Amino acid sequence: MKIDLITLFPEMCEAVLGESIIGRARKSNAIEIECHQLRDYALDKHRRVDDTVYGGGMGMLMKCEPIALCFEDICKKRNCTPYFIYMSPQAKPLTQERLKALSNLDNICVLAGHYEGVDQRVIDEFIDEEISIGDYVLTGGELPALVFIDALSRLAPGVLSNNECFTEESHFNGLLEYPQYTKPVSWRGIEVPPVLYSGDHAKVDRWRYEQSLINTAVKRPDMLEKNELSEEDKAVIKEYYDKSESLNK
């Protein structure tokens, strides 16, 4: 997978994308990420990429031509037209399901907006999809772009050591992840569930699945509406709530 990021702050982005798992994956060539300074494509000596908004209003707007020139240059370098994503608070919030679909693409370009956003003509002519990381507004698109790239990159082959690192995580299969524990077995009088060190892998798998069901029912019941639960699954959830209700009496 190759990802190009168009930004006003490439140094900021490189500081994040050069560290930890993503940084190691880039060094091993499991994934290719390149940050592009948008000001390099400005048309004046002051390297301005923004201007005032037609019709009046607060703030500045990112201009069309620098973005168009940068993207067209990326297309030439990649010898293809990458799927172009604009990070926007107006878009639908990003989901793991959408990340899985996008992870099948070979080339993606991400635009990190700034100021009051970008000229609508850029969106109409170049952008394939707008993506949000939540229903709130930040000072710029770099943080959302980094969140998106991190979440997407870890799904690429070779980035994580094992596919189980993400296939058993929250959201991947429509459920939240089960509780996890490490040593010691007893901490301040609180015990690790014995099944987890019983050595019976079938029972461990069953316990984890049931705990995922319960965790999702308690924290994100809206997610269960998208899953077809079996009668056994429903019984697990009902038993949990019945026990919780009796303990609270």
Let me know whether 144 and 197 are in one domain: no
Question: Distance between CA 120 and CA 6 in Å, rounded?
Answer: 17
CA atoms within 13 A on the CB side of 56: 0
Burial of 244 from C-beta contacts in 10 A (0-12 / 13-18 / 19+): exposed
Let me know whether 21 and 113 are in one domain: yes
Residue 171: its pLDDT value, please? Answer: 52
- Count up the domains in the chain and report the number: 2
Let me know whether 70 and 181 are in one domain: no
Any idea what the CATH number is for the domain that residue 210 is in?
Answer: 1.10.1270.20
Evaluate whether residue 121 is within a structural domain. yes
* Region of residue 113 (phi > 0: left; psi between -120 and 50: alpha; otherwise: beta): beta
Burial of 1 from C-beta contacts in 10 A (0-12 / 13-18 / 19+): buried
What pLDDT band is residue 142 in, cutting at 50, 70 and 90?
A: very high
Let me know whether 16 and 47 are in one domain: yes
pLDDT single digits (tens) 230-240 = 999 999 999 99
Residue 183: its pLDDT value, please? Answer: 94
| Domain boundary, last residue among 153, 176, 197 | 153
| Domain boundary, last residue among 153, 179, 204 | 153
Evaluate whether residue 42 is within a structural domain. yes
Let me know whether 72 and 110 are in one domain: yes
Nearest to 146 by CA among 27, 1, 22, 2: 22
pLDDT single digits (tens) 16-53 = 999 999 999 999 999 999 999 999 999 888 999 999 99
Residue 115: its pLDDT value, please? Answer: 81
What is the reported pTM? 0.83
> Which residue shows structure tokens 């089960």?
178
pLDDT single digits (tens) 146-202 = 999 999 999 999 999 765 444 455 455 789 999 999 999 999 999 999 999 999 999
Please answer whether residues 100 and 155 qualify as being in contact, where contact means their C-beta atoms are separated by less than 8 angstroms: yes
Let me know whether 174 and 130 are in one domain: no
Let me know whether 193 and 113 are in one domain: no
Evaluate whether residue 138 is within a structural domain. yes
Residue 162: its pLDDT value, please? Answer: 65
What single DSSP character describes residue 55? Answer: T
pLDDT single digits (tens) 76-129 = 999 999 999 999 999 999 999 999 999 999 999 999 998 889 999 999 999 999
Any idea what the CATH number is for the domain that residue 76 is in?
Answer: 3.40.1280.10
> Which residue shows structure tokens 């991947």?
172
Let me know whether 217 and 181 are in one domain: yes
Q: What are phi and psi of 13, to 5 degrees?
A: -70, -40
Give the range of the structural domain holding residue 112, as residue numbers without chain letter: 2-153
pLDDT single digits (tens) 54-70 = 898 888 999 999 999 99
Q: List the end-to-end C-alpha distance of the chain, in Å, as a whole number.
A: 55
Evaluate whether residue 159 is within a structural domain. no
